C-alpha cells in the first residue's frame, strides 16, 4: 500500500498542516524547518472498503448488567481484522464483573451494539 507523510505544526487551536509528501525523507526535512514540526504516516485508501460498504468504525464498551457505551472512533492506523466485522476485542472477568471493549465495523450505533452484544455473550459463555 502507498503511504503519504503529513507534516504538521502546533496543537489544538494552533495546529496546522504544513504539507503532505510522498517521500518520508523530504517530509522530515520540512518538519525540521518548523518549530514543533512533526511527521505522521498515513496509508492511502486503507479504509476504502469500509467507505464503499457504508461502514464506519465504532468503539463499544459493555459490562455485565447491560451497560453499553458506543462512540465513533477514528484510528490512526488499521487494526488487524478478525471475524464478523470485529476489528479488535478484549474481555476480562474480574471480581467486580465482566466487561468487554470491542472495535467494530458497522453501519450505525445500533448495528455496532448488536455485534458487540453477540461477542459479549460468546465471551461470557466460555468464562468459568
- pLDDT tens over the chain, length 128 residues: 799 999 999 888 889 999 999 999 999 999 999 988 999 998 888 778 778 888 877 777 766 655 666 655 554 444 545 444 555 555 555 555 666 777 777 888 888 888 877 877 777 777 66
Q: How many other CB atoms are there within 10 angstroms of residue 91's CB atom?
A: 18
Go through 15-53 and write b for each residue having 16 or more CB atoms within 10 A of its CB, e for each that does not: eeebeebeeeeebeebbeeeeebebeeeeeeeeeeeeee
Can you give the pLDDT at residue 35? 83
pTM of the model: 0.54
Q: What pLDDT sits at residue 76?
A: 43
Q: Where are the domains of the chain?
A: 3-43, 49-125
Pairing mode of beta strands 56-63, 3-9: unpaired
Structure-derived torsion over alpha carbons of residues 90, 94, 97, 102, reported in degrees to the nearest 10: -10
Amino acid at each position: 500500500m502507498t503511504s503519504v507523510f503529513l507534516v504538521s505544526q502546533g496543537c489544538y487551536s494552533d495546529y496546522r498542516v504544513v504539507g503532505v509528501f510522498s517521500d518520508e525523507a523530504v517530509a522530515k526535512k520540512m518538519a525540521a524547518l518548523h518549530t514543533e514540526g512533526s511527521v505522521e504516516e498515513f496509508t492511502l485508501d486503507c479504509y476504502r472498503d469500509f467507505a464503499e460498504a457504508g461502514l464506519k468504525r465504532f468503539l463499544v464498551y459493555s459490562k455485565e448488567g447491560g451497560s453499553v457505551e458506543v462512540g465513533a472512533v477514528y484510528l490512526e492506523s488499521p487494526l488487524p481484522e478478525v471475524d464478523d466485522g470485529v476489528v479488535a476485542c478484549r474481555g476480562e472477568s474480574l471480581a467486580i464483573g465482566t466487561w468487554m471493549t470491542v472495535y467494530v465495523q458497522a453501519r450505525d450505533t445500533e448495528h455496532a451494539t448488536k455485534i458487540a452484544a453477540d461477542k459479549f455473550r460468546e465471551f461470557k459463555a466460555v468464562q468459568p
